[in-house]
């Protein structure tokens, strides 16, 4: 029998606080989202015996009771008996009570939260019963989900702690989005799983992102047959979600992002651009109406998301004439009003839209109907997002904040970025009156899975429920127990380790493209760096995998999710292992080719290399069927083949090396010579290292008959020969380590170029000698043009006494400058390198009246060599390694560990910059007045593939940038010869040329990562393309000139 207590018959603090005193730290409870108010007591409610469960009338109550009963059975082994007797008159409702058989539990009305509306609830667990009372059915469901988490993650000897909870949400709407239109299209079973987990973590809506992967009956060409959400599936999803308290928000991209529709011939007449619907053609709105008609009526939720984001190019097609009259912002607002009226008048829906474009046109914001719900989005790890919220809040619009889980195009989500982005965006939204949170996932490259997004999705649920008051470490400590039922926190520890992988040097933020960049014989910086970076990755990933494996062994719920995290972690692990294995294999293969290596040793070395490469190949091959299985459990078959082909290409690449090694082993076994590592495709190339070791040595002197022209003090000399290789070069810098016989005990050096065609005429060449702890290096520049496939010969004289240096009118010097900066100067340019981000804050061109090319300023992003992100403002320590007169070199290390090796040479208007990690963002911000379209001397853009045109104007809705993929350099030119260029000598990547100032000068932005950059800033007296092509060849670290040292001579 259940006893009913009236509210008047008990204290107003009937939250059990009457008899309870806190005996444990409430924060140690593992609950997600964590309740607003919690108080623990000393008692226990035993769940191991016979229990009864009763619930107030209603379908929602029955659903909640069923979920709780199943949880108890799963965790304790025996389900409670559901009481079918009538709910007592006067008992609180909606409510639920769990009690030991034979007991007479109290059914008092618990004090409900004053906030949260029908979603608020109170929960009371005492030795005699568990009682949940709510303001509405949604609150009762939330209370049951909290009870389930208490049972799943907080039992001690099958007993619940005595506890009182008052709880309510900070934001009215809380949900997340599954992108089902960029390749992976989630199966209905997957969508239902997302609904169930949304409900378990108190989210109350779920949405899908839709461009084209919907089975439109009136437009069957749009959606792929094996990868589209069907109307029947959408209808079933809505019905499935209803008892879980989750609404389905419909979505249809309605302006930009329409490539997949407009690529069909029957819709190409609706193009504004290849990806934007034309807003001045009536057929556009007929099409949208017909697309809406098949989705909107199936989603009872009062809002519908029409997206309309990222419409770059609007106003450049058929709408240009209208845009010229009312502005691009006016055209955009006009389209939004048409769509708004269609949705409201015909379908009774409230329009939701992404807010990025209208924020660029604030003067047109007032033209958007006031009942529109704005979705303000941003995915960076910002400290504040108020600037993206305030315009909507001050204008009276309801708005959602829309962070993201940073999963797109990544092996695993960037947890650190997502954690900060979600927390701070939701925090600012809650402070400024957000109606809700829509947490986003995106499948940009069509490769990432859904399951790894749950960490970020559930962190979003935590933040939206509690207004971002929870610390991420506390969430990580709790989430594994709640999501999987693990007894420890192995999942949280794994996430903490994996979080650190995305900032490791050399791995491009764990983007998918980095996994497919196999590093076959190529080191982005150096072999030493590649080895250190690979080991640093393994030091994080290996223990993370161990934690994930233990979490899976312990998991009682949702264990399959962990397989997806493990798959991503193992891909990371393979990236580290293959880097080390390939380098080891390359050295083994090189050993087989060394003089004096007999057949047995050569065979063993090549077999060792073959074994390592075969293991790498097999590891990649083994991932393919596992990936396919994981994909098909979540998604429909469409677009799967696109990813499987990437695995095939990787295996084919390694097969090529395996086949060559296999043949090499067979050849050596029958007495043939081992092939070179270049022939095997295994020559190690270091893209961040200028080789200083000689390519070869000779046991004879270079020119014994050449006269002795050096000063008397120099009693020895050594010949060296520089081979240009297969490309033409000009003013080629050479750094060559001197043998001990030259370096030891000698202080005087002089260099002469030897011309055998002119009777061994010797011409002095400026040089410098740099000494380090372990080597002595001769530095000089081979003067003038250096034709392909030719050689130049030199004699270096040495002796113990100092001699006067050869005159060097182009000499480069290095000196201290104010504010800890460093000045580097030669006959062509004067540079100022600052400690903030190691930026080049001034670049004065002496041949152009000392004009400074850089964006004015000596802090933040002004100047050249900007890496963006945290490195932009990080303090750098500058060490001068070489002071001239031929070469100045600075080693700059910032507090984040980023290193820049900056080199300038005598007489050259360029700077060579090598980083210790490849980056996808590097900008030289120039003064917009120098080349800008509206400046006094408008310039042109020029790319290495010959593409050229006038520098673009920056407009309110357009950045004025010109991008070009697969090029080695980008440049700005003027008729007077002034030239600014950025070269990526070894890597063809996407270069961008901006209008100047904040929109950039020359740079790369979200491009294929690069380690080595060369900036030219000066006067081009002849064809700038020829100059830059030659400079690229001259300073490339891929095909370096070869140097041979000859025997020493004594006078």
Give the pLDDT score at 207.
99
Average pLDDT, the chain: 94
Give the pLDDT score at 18.
32
Q: Report yes or no: 96 and 52 within 8 Å, Cβ to Cβ.
A: no
pLDDT tens digits, one per residue of 580-589: 999 999 999 9
940-943 and 969-973 as β-strands: parallel, antiparallel, unpaired? Answer: antiparallel
pLDDT tens digits, one per residue of 68-120: 999 999 999 999 999 988 888 888 999 999 999 988 888 889 999 999 999 99
Residue found under tokens 């079933």: 236
Please indicate whether residue 60 or residue 350 has the higher confidence score (pLDDT): 350
Give the pLDDT score at 329.
96
Query: What is the rounded CA–CA span in Å between residue 321 and residue 315?
Result: 8
Q: Domain spanning 7-167 has what CATH number?
A: 3.30.379.10
Give the pLDDT score at 956.
64
pLDDT at position 465 over 70: yes
Hey, is 157 helix, strand or coil?
A: coil
Give the pLDDT score at 158.
96
Query: What is the rounded CA–CA span in Å between residue 583 and residue 571?
Result: 19
pLDDT tens digits, one per residue of 568-605: 999 999 999 999 999 999 999 999 988 889 999 999 99
pLDDT tens digits, one per residue of 12-32: 334 433 333 333 478 899 999
Percent of the chain exceeding pLDDT 90 equals 89
pLDDT at position 906 over 60: yes
Residue found under tokens 């909507």: 392
Alpha helices in 526-558 (DSSP H): 527-554
- CATH topology assigned to domain 173-470: TIM Barrel (3.20.20)
Give the pLDDT score at 712.
85
pLDDT at position 805 over 80: no
706 token code pair = 């050449």
CATH superfamily of 692-807+1042-1050: Golgi alpha-mannosidase II (2.60.40.1180)
Question: pLDDT tier at 144 (50, 70, 90 boundaries)?
Answer: very high
Domain regions of the chain by residue span: 7-167, 173-470, 503-680, 692-807+1042-1050, 813-1020
Average pLDDT over residues 408-420: 98
Average pLDDT over residues 986-1003: 96
Average pLDDT over residues 52-70: 92
Overall CATH class of domain 503-680:
mainly alpha
Query: What is the rounded CA–CA span in Å between residue 253 and residue 275?
Result: 11
Average pLDDT over residues 989-1004: 96
Q: String of b and e for 227-264 (b: at least 16 CB within 10 Å)?
A: bbbeeebbeebbebbbbbbbbbbbbbbbbbbbebbbee
User: Residue 85's CB: how many other CB atoms inside 10 A?
Assistant: 9
Q: Report yes or no: 734 and 793 within 8 Å, Cβ to Cβ.
A: no
pLDDT tens digits, one per residue of 624-645: 999 999 999 999 999 999 999 9
Overall CATH class of domain 813-1020:
mainly beta
Query: What is the rounded CA–CA span in Å between residue 788 and residue 436?
Result: 65
Residue 959 contacts by C-beta under 8 Å, 6 or more apart in sequence?
994, 995, 999
Give the pLDDT score at 205.
99
Strand extents, DSSP E, 517-675: 522-523
pLDDT tens digits, one per residue of 369-399: 999 999 999 999 999 999 999 999 999 999 9
827 token code pair = 């006959």
DSSP 224-272: -TTS-B-HHHHHHHHHHHGGGT-EEEEE---SSS-HHHHTSGGGGGGEE
Query: What is the rounded CA–CA span in Å between residue 251 and residue 230?
Result: 14
Average pLDDT over residues 829-849: 97
Residue found under tokens 């002071």: 883
pLDDT tens digits, one per residue of 678-688: 899 999 999 89
Query: What is the rounded CA–CA span in Å between residue 1021 and residue 977?
Result: 6
Q: Helix 472-484 vs helix 454-466: angle between axes, to the nearest 10 degrees?
A: 120
Give the pLDDT score at 306.
99
């Amino acid at each position: 029998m259940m006893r009913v207590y009236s509210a008047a018959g008990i204290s107003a603090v009937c939250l059990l606080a009457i008899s309870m005193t806190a005996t444990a730290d409430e924060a140690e409870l593992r609950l997600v989202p964590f309740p607003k108010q919690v108080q623990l007591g000393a008692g226990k409610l035993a769940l191991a015996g016979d229990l009864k469960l009763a619930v107030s009338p209603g379908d929602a109550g029955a659903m909640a009771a069923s979920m709780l009963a199943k949880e108890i059975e799963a965790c304790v082994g025996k389900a409670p008996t559901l009481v079918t007797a009538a709910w007592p008159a006067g008992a609180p409702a909606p409510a639920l009570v769990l009690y030991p058989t034979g007991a007479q539990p109290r059914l008092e009305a618990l004090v409900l939260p004053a906030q949260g509306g029908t979603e608020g609830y109170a929960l009371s667990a005492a030795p005699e019963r568990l009682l949940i009372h709510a303001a509405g059915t949604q609150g009762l469901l939330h209370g049951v989900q909290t009870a389930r988490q208490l049972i799943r993650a907080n039992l001690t000897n099958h007993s619940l702690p005595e506890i009182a909870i008052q709880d309510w949400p900070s934001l009215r709407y809380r949900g997340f989005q599954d992108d089902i239109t960029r390749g992976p299209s989630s199966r209905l079973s997957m969508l239902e799983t997302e609904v169930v987990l949304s409900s378990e973590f108190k989210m109350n809506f779920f949405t899908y992102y839709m461009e084209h992967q919907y089975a439109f009956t009136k437009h069957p060409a749009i959606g792929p047959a094996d990868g589209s959400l069907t109307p029947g599936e959408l209808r079933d999803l809505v019905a499935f979600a209803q008892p879980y308290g989750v609404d389905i928000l419909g979505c249809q991209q309605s302006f930009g992002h329409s490539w997949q529709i407009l690529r069909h011939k029957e819709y190409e007449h609706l193009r504004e651009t290849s990806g934007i619907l034309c807003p001045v053609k009536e057929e556009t709105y007929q099409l949208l109406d017909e697309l809406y008609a098949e989705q909107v009526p199936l989603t009872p939720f009062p809002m519908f998301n029409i997206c309309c984001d990222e419409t770059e190019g609007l106003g450049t097609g058929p709408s240009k004439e209208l845009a010229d009259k009312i502005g691009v912002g006016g055209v955009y607002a006009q389209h939004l009003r048409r769509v708004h009226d269609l949705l409201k008048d015909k379908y009774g829906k409230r329009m939701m839209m992404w807010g990025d474009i209208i924020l660029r046109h604030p003067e047109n914001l007032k033209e958007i109907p006031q009942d529109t719900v704005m979705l303000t989005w941003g995915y960076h790890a910002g400290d504040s997002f108020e600037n993206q919220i305030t315009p909507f809040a001050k204008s009276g619009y309801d708005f959602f904040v829309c962070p993201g889980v940073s999963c797109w195009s990544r092996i695993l989500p960037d947890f650190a970025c997502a954690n900060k982005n979600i927390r701070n965006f939701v925090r600012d939204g809650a402070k400024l009156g957000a109606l809700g949170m829509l947490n986003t996932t995106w499948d940009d490259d069509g490769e990432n899975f859904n399951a790894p997004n749950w960490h970020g999705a559930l962190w979003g649920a935590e933040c939206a429920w509690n207004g971002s008051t929870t610390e991420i470490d506390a969430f990580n400590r709790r989430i594994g127990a709640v999501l999987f039922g693990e007894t420890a926190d192995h999942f949280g520890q794994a996430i903490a380790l994996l979080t650190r992988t995305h900032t490791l040097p050399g791995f491009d933020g764990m983007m998918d493209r980095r996994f497919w960049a196999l590093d076959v014989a190529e080191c982005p910086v150096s072999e030493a760096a590649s080895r250190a970076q690979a080991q640093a990755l393994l030091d994080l990933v290996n223990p993370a995998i161990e934690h994930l494996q233990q979490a899976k062994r312990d998991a009682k719920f949702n264990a399959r999710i962990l397989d997806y995290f493990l798959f991503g972690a193992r891909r990371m692990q393979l990236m580290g292992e293959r880097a080390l294995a390939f380098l080891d294999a390359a050295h083994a293969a090189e050993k087989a080719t060394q003089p004096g290596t007999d057949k047995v040793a050569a065979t063993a070395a090549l077999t060792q290399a073959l074994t390592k490469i075969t293991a790498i190949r097999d590891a990649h091959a083994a991932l393919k069927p596992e990936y396919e299985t994981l994909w098909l459990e979540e998604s429909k078959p469409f677009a799967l083949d696109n990813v499987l082909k990437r695995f095939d290409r990787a295996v084919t690449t390694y097969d090529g090396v395996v086949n060559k090694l296999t043949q090499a082993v067979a050849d050596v076994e029958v007495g043939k010579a081992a092939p070179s590592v270049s022939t095997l495709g295994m020559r190690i190339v270091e893209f961040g290292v200028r080789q200083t070791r000689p390519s070869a040595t000779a046991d004879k002197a270079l020119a014994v008959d050449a006269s002795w022209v050096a000063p008397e003090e120099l009693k020895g000399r050594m010949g060296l020969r520089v081979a240009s290789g297969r490309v033409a070069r000009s003013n080629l810098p050479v750094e060559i380590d001197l043998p001990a016989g030259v370096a030891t005990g000698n202080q005087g050096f002089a260099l002469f170029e030897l011309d055998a065609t002119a009777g061994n005429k010797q011409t002095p060449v400026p040089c410098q000698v740099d000494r380090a702890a372990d080597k002595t290096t001769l530095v000089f520049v081979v003067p003038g043009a250096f034709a392909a496939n030719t050689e130049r010969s030199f004699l270096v004289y040495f002796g113990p006494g100092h001699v006067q240096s050869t005159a060097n009118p182009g000499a480069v010097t290095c000196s201290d400058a104010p504010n800890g900066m460093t000045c580097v100067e030669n006959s062509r340019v004067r540079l100022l390198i600052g400690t903030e981000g190691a930026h080049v804050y001034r670049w004065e061109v002496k041949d152009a009246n000392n004009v400074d090319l850089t964006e004015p300023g000596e802090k933040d992003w002004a100047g050249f060599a900007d890496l963006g992100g945290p490195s932009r403002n990080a303090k750098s320590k500058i060490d001068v390694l070489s002071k001239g007169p031929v070469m100045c070199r600075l080693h700059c290390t910032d507090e984040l560990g980023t290193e820049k090796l900056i080199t300038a040479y005598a007489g050259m208007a360029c700077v060579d910059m090598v980083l210790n990690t490849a980056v996808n963002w590097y900008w030289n911000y120039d003064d917009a007045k120098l080349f800008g379209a509206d400046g006094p001397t408008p310039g042109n853009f020029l790319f290495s593939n010959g593409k050229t045109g006038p520098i673009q104007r920056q407009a309110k809705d357009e950045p004025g940038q010109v991008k070009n993929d697969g090029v080695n350099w980008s440049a700005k030119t003027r008729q007077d010869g002034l030239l600014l260029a950025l070269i990526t000598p070894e890597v063809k990547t996407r270069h961008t040329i901006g209008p100047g100032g904040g929109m950039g000068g020359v740079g790369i932005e979200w491009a294929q990562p690069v380690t080595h950059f060369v900036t030219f800033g000066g006067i081009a007296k002849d064809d700038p393309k020829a100059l830059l092509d030659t400079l690229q060849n001259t300073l490339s670290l891929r095909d370096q000139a070869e140097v041979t040292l000859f025997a020493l001579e004594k006078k």
